[in-house]
Amino acid sequence: MKMISWKKLSFALLLVVVGVIGRYLLLDFPNVETMTAVALLAGALLGGGYTVVVPLLAVAVFDIFYGNSSILFFTWSAWAIIGLIGLVLKGKKMKTWKFTASMAGLGVASSLFFYIWTNFGVWLIGDWYPETLSGLMTCMIAGLPFLKAQIMGNLIVVPLTAVSLNYVWQRVNALQFKLVKNKPKKVDIVS
């Protein structure tokens, strides 16, 4: 049976808190949020079940207080898939600037995915656009201002969040290494 890593669990909870609080603090800026960074970091740093659970838990906690819309399936599944996109960086050894740049690139890619997937949901479920190819294109065009805001936000928020939380993750790992390295050795006491 695999033991729970308290280090990973604690960091996962930190990611959830950053996702929820960051999303709340950025409410006045539509489609600018910390959720993309949190989802990507869950995949890149934690992996395993945390990859999907962290973004879903963060969005669930936020939605309990602020609600969602009829495209809930599309938004929630998008965050889970963005967590999976973060797995691209899992286990890669790279300098901080390269990790940050990679996260920014994944942030832009995630914005594009989120835009296409959730606008498809709006077109499919909503009553605003006819269920034709022309209606889908109209829906996608209408969503472009939101995409622009999300890309601009992710070019700022994802790297800042990634640098900050990657620093915390590295310090936690360094501390754990020091504790293990300096573990007292067993000594036989002879009387």
Residue 42 lies in a domain: yes
* 168 belongs to a structural domain: no
Two structure tokens written together for 115: 């835009």
Which tokens belong to 191? Answer: 């009387």
Q: Does residue 52 contact residue 84 with C-beta atoms inside 8 Å?
A: yes
pLDDT in tens, the chain (191 residues): 567 778 889 899 999 999 999 999 998 888 888 999 999 999 999 999 999 999 999 999 999 988 888 888 999 999 999 999 999 998 787 788 888 899 999 999 999 999 999 999 999 998 899 999 999 999 999 999 999 999 999 999 999 999 888 888 888 777 665 544 555 555 445 54
- The whole domain housing 117 covers 6-161
Tell whether 59 is covered by a domain. yes
In order, the DSSP letters of 110-148 are HHHHHHHHHHHHHHHH-SSS-SSHHHHHHHHHHTHHHHH
| Residue 189 confidence (pLDDT) | 52
Residue 191, pLDDT score: 46
Distance CA 23, CA 35 (A): 7
Question: Does any domain span residue 173?
Answer: no
Q: How many domains does the chain have?
A: 1
Quote the pLDDT of residue 56: 96
Domain assignment present for 187: no
169 falls within a domain: no
User: 3-state class of 181 per DSSP?
Assistant: helix
- Identify whether 75 is part of a domain: yes
User: So what's the pLDDT on residue 187?
Assistant: 46
Cα–Cα separations (whole angstroms), residue 17 to 21, 22, 61, 63? 6, 8, 9, 13
- Domain-located, residue 107: yes
- pLDDT of the residue at 178: 53
